[in-house]
Amino acid sequence: SAGRRIERLEEELRRAIRVRDEFLSIASHELKTPITALRLQLQLTRRGVNPETNLMPSAPKLAAILDLATRQTDRLMHLIEDLLDVARIESGKLDYCFEAVNLTDLCEDVLARFTEQRYVPQMIAGEPGAAPLIVYCDGSRVEQVLINFLTNAFKYGGNKAAEVRVSRNEENFLISVRDFGLGIAKEKQQAIFDRFERAISYEYISGLGLGLYIAKQIAEAHGGRISLRSALGEGSEFTFEIPARRAAS
């Protein structure tokens, strides 16, 4: 009936407003945190500089301050880039550059970067002597999806190393990341691919809740999809499926 449709629309509107308000609260906190840390590091550096005596902080101390400031800047840039990507998606202007990419090499490169940050995911090798997995895709966007998977595994994985697997079946190329952490309740599994949603809303876990939404749009732009297997207390496994018809000739 018309009355029920109106009630349903009103409930959807109320939920949209709640999601928006929660996102604005999270976004203001997430953007403010690295800026506050960066400002503190600059203040500490300035206090250590005496123009009258030409005294400066020691080289190790200055290097440590600059390293921390750089990490906070990188975090801020990542948050801003996620917001820009959502705006590009909504306007249909998220660009892609498709080319032949070796998926195994791509994944190994990404994992090497995480290893440098002292988080060491485990690469599960394919069969010895197997042919390279070459697919026609946007390598930088595929990297973005894998980085999102690994970042989530780091956040929610209970300090346990994630497993990364690259494979192919008859229909798809598969990039999977499995963690051994908290897991995701069944009723939340669909919603986490929406904008501004997070698997768990613990205050100590950072993020805008945009990563999986962006990853889903990237997967769909490749003609693929993202699948999830998870249960509370048993960890999660995210898989990016790229149709094998995109194999480079």
Domains of the chain, residue spans: 2-91, 99-246
Residue whose token pair is 């008859």: 170
**Residue 110 and residue 151 in contact, taking contact as beta carbons nearer than 8 Å:** no
- Encoding tokens for residue 244? 């094998």
3-state secondary structure of 228: strand
**Residue 196 and residue 214 in contact, taking contact as beta carbons nearer than 8 Å:** no
3-state secondary structure of 80: helix
Q: Give the residue ranges of the chain where pLDDT is below 70.
A: 19-30, 116-120, 125-130, 196-209, 246-249
Q: Give CA–CA dist 221/98, Å, rounded.
A: 11
**In this structure, which topology does domain 2-91 adopt according to CATH?**
Helix Hairpins (1.10.287)
Q: Give CA–CA dist 162/200, Å, rounded.
A: 18
**pTM higher than the cut 0.85:** no
Query: Which tens digits make up the pLDDT trace of 74-133?
Result: 878 878 888 888 888 878 888 999 999 999 999 989 888 877 666 667 777 555 556 788
Fold match, 2-91 / 99-246: no
CATH homologous superfamily, domain 99-246: Histidine kinase-like ATPase, C-terminal domain (3.30.565.10)
